[in-house]
Structure 1
Amino acid sequence: MTGEELKALRERRGLTQTQMAAFVNEMTGRKYDKQRLSKWETGKEALPRDVLGRLMMMALEQPETTEPRQGTTIAVGLQKGGTAKTATSINLAFVLARAGNRVLLVDADPQGNATVHVGIPQADVVALTEAGKVLYHALMGKTRLADIILPTSVPGLDVVPSSIALASADTELPGNLTNAQTALAEILDGVKARYDVVVIDCAPNLGAVTINALTAADFVLVPCQAEPHAILGVSAFLDTVAKIQRRLNPRLAVLGILPTMFNPRQTQDRSSLDDIARLWGEERRVFPPVPRATIYAQAAGANVITLDADIGAPGVESYVAIAAALLRASGRLPEVVDAA
């Protein structure tokens, strides 16, 4: 967020610099004054990271509406592991929820990391699996999806939990000829009216569950680690997306590619980022890269959402840019936050 964007945000809310400083102080517990705000708006001082994160999410907020929720669905996927799909899914879901949207996070990965990282203890995941209340059971028609959705500690964010049981679905779904590729879309139809956005965290493969996720989605986001092997995987994944568009889901659109774990000091990372721009930059949107930062590993180790632990964490600009692009593409955001 530039100084001009900060000023525009303040003016849209009809606030003076003194009032905006008071508003920021209420959010952060700090003691900024009009003079400090003026320095931010003129670019003489950089916005503190925690203030930046909060204001960028605030800029995404839309006015209250009585219109029905759209349930816009985005799948986050790539068949290669270790490209920050789960971190992308949960942080994107967090940004959207903080901006006032009702969000459903669907954990479609048998590893169940998204479930744990939004606050569902591992012991509870085991109990939910034994009780038949994880995604596998809903996907196979053994329970209603609405009956397994759980709230999280983030206001506006719910989760469909997953566990290792979901691994069986990749072999069991193809045997169900009636809805082998559309099972997820069908069960989501029953709950989408309750949500503005559905975020699906896909497994690092192209199995039956991932095909279901792409068939259910309106958009797909491709996180790609800034390294050669991940880049090779993007081409194969986009080929699969093209097949899904032709055969199963013509409304599916690629929202963009997100470079992840980027270290600007590494020559290989810079070269890979250049390759991503060269290969797809003209026909696809390439979002600002999420830098490699220890806060992500620390948050994963503590089973929390990175931006919930540190709202100004490196990469917040990228997640806000993705959220803005998604809301704009679904017709919910007339004014776009440009975080690039």
Structure 2
Amino acid sequence: MATGISTGPDGTALGPTGRPVKEFPVPEFLDGHGPARIISLCNQKGGVGKTTTTISLGAALADYGRKVLCVDFDPQGALSAGLGVRTHDVTTVYDLLLSSRTDPHTAIQPTNVPGLDVIPANIDLSAAEVHLVNEVAREQILAGVLRKLSGEYDVILIDCQPSLGLLTVNALTASHGVLIPLESEFFALRGVALLIETIDKVRDRLNPAIELDGILTTMFDSRTLHAREVLERVVEAFGDTVLDTVIGRTVKFPDASVAGTPITEFAPDHPAAKAYRQLARELIARGAVA
């Protein structure tokens, strides 16, 4: 996996973003847990690494002593499959959305990573928008669910579906921050402005506290001019909002998904695993995670 490290005129090591390479410190373990900061991983384009990032970031944060809950909010259930948890004949996020009487604790499943739990989803979730459309305060239903769990976790990561519909608006309304995984490809770049416009509307109308925590470049291959040009344009457009951590393209991600294990556990010494541990450190250093 190419890293894109180069040097500046003064010999300073430069990362793929063109900035000096930073070393983010290993965080200290926390004395206690909660209340959680809720972060949505969101992009209306599919195949940009949202689910992979949710799984890998969650596992990396758990390795640093954070108690993490991942919420599968995509009817495809890829997050649940990637963490090796059951999705049928169990309580899912769909059940929690449809009934306020269902205890959200009944939907939580542990993973093989200590400190990392998940609320699963399956294809039933695809019917949620139809059921919720006539509900009072329909955009705030997920927020009510997560409020009951917030005190037990340090961070809650919501893996959104590739859409800007009612489910994604629910996720954004429930969140303190948004992380945008962005594939280093031109057509992926085109949709970012629309997504940020949606976040601004949610901030104005539903959730004044929501912040853009960062744009994460994924599937980056420094060997291609196209990928380098896209990353350069993203940095020009969004400045420090673009995270220093860059996730490279590798076949290890699908291998880890098939195994139902995060890349940090499946291949802990692989550059991709190291990149996600760096992402966890960077978000902690930026204050996006406790």
- TM score, norm. by length of structure 2: 0.86
Q: Deviations over 1:145-199 (max 9, x none)?
A: 11111111110111001001111112221211x2300000001111111111101
Letter paired with 2:114: P
Letter paired with 2:73: A
Structure 2 residue 243 is matched with structure 1 residue 286 = yes
| Separation in structure 2 between the aligned mates of residue 287 and residue 57 of structure 1, nearest angstrom | 10
TM-aligned CA deviation for residue 73 of structure 1:
0.7
Could you tell me which runs of 5 or more consecutive residues in structure 1 were left unpaired when the two chains were aligned: 1-55, 334-340
Paired position in structure 2 for 1:188: 146
TM-aligned CA deviation for residue 262 of structure 1:
0.8
TM-aligned CA deviation for residue 300 of structure 1:
2.1
| Separation in structure 1 between the aligned mates of residue 170 and residue 253 of structure 2, nearest angstrom | 29
Paired position in structure 2 for 1:174: 133
Cα distance 1:168–1:281, how it changes in 2: closer, same or farther (>3 A)?
same
Paired position in structure 1 for 2:5: none
Identity of aligned residues (%): 33
8 Å CA contact retained: 1:103, 1:197? yes
Letter paired with 1:298: D
Aligned Cα root-mean-square deviation (Å):
2.0
Q: Could you tell me which of 303, 307, 323 is aligned with 2:264?
A: 307
Letter paired with 1:127: D
- Return 320-329 or 187-196, whichever deviates more: 320-329
Residue correspondences, number: 267
Paired position in structure 2 for 1:158: 117
8 Å CA contact retained: 2:25, 2:281? no
8 Å CA contact retained: 1:289, 1:315? no
Could you tell me which runs of 5 or more consecutive residues in structure 2 were left unpaired when the two chains were aligned: 1-22
Structure 2 residue 78 is matched with structure 1 residue 104 = no
Matches within 5 A, 1:12-161: 59-62=26-29, 64-66=30-32, 69-120=34-85, 124-128=86-90, 133-141=91-99, 143-161=102-120
| Separation in structure 2 between the aligned mates of residue 57 and residue 310 of structure 1, nearest angstrom | 21
- TM score, norm. by length of structure 1: 0.74
| Separation in structure 1 between the aligned mates of residue 154 and residue 209 of structure 2, nearest angstrom | 18
Paired position in structure 2 for 1:30: none
Paired position in structure 2 for 1:324: 281
8 Å CA contact retained: 1:102, 1:157? yes
Flag the structure with higher strand content. Answer: 2
Q: Deviations over 1:210-262 (max 9, x none)?
A: 11111111110000000011101111111101111111111111111011111
TM-aligned CA deviation for residue 278 of structure 1:
1.4
Secondary structure at the counterpart of residue 158 of structure 2: strand
Task: Kindly report structure 1 stretches of 4+ aligned residues shifted beyond 6 Å.
Answer: none
| Separation in structure 2 between the aligned mates of residue 252 and residue 317 of structure 1, nearest angstrom | 29
Letter paired with 1:197: V
Paired position in structure 2 for 1:259: 217
Paired position in structure 1 for 2:6: none
